């Protein structure tokens, strides 16, 4: 699938922080799921690039793959639903999760990113458990 939107170009560049940062406006803001321990939003190129570097230098290896399931929108507002596959640096174990990402853009590049993911799936996989285990424990 060829990407046609800012959101599609951004997720296709995941793992390559230099390529990602070339897409950003100077005043970019990036928001993650509220349950994750990051400022909401992270504001400015420096903060967002530092976050990107942390993701692919501390948490995951940069040789990740993206499978775009849906892509909609245009240059000013776009969205993608995708599968992200990577390996954890700490354990070498594989990671796979479904994400949704919205991007708002302008003449200077991407101004806003809203990234949502299945946070319980992260915890299950970090513990080496099957997806859905944490949720099952919560509903017992």
pLDDT at 128: 65
pLDDT band for 60, please (50, 70, 90 cuts). Answer: very high
Neighbours of 12 (CB within 10 A): 19
pLDDT of residue 93: 87
Q: Are 11 and 43 in contact (CB under 8 A)?
A: no
40 sits in which H/E element: none
Pairing verdict, β 65-73 and 77-87: antiparallel
Q: How confident is the model at residue 17 (pLDDT cuts 50, 70, 90)?
A: very high
Q: Residue 57: is its pLDDT beyond 80?
A: yes
Residue 64: the pLDDT is 97
Which three-class secondary structure state does DSSP give residue 18?
helix
pTM of the predicted protein model: 0.86
């Amino acid at each position: 699938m060829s990407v046609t939107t800012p959101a599609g170009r951004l997720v296709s560049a995941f793992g390559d922080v230099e390529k990602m940062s070339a897409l950003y406006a100077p005043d970019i803001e990036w928001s993650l799921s509220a349950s994750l321990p990051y400022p909401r939003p992270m504001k400015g190129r420096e903060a967002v690039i530092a976050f990107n570097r942390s993701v692919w230098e501390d948490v995951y290896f940069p040789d990740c793959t993206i499978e775009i399931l849906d892509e909609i929108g245009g240059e000013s507002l776009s969205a993608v639903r995708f599968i992200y596959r990577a390996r954890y640096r700490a354990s070498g174990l594989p990671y796979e999760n479904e994400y949704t990402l919205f991007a708002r853009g302008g003449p200077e590049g991407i101004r806003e990113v809203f990234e949502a993911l299945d946070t319980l799936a992260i915890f299950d996989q970090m513990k080496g458990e099957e997806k859905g285990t944490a949720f099952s424990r919560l509903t017992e």
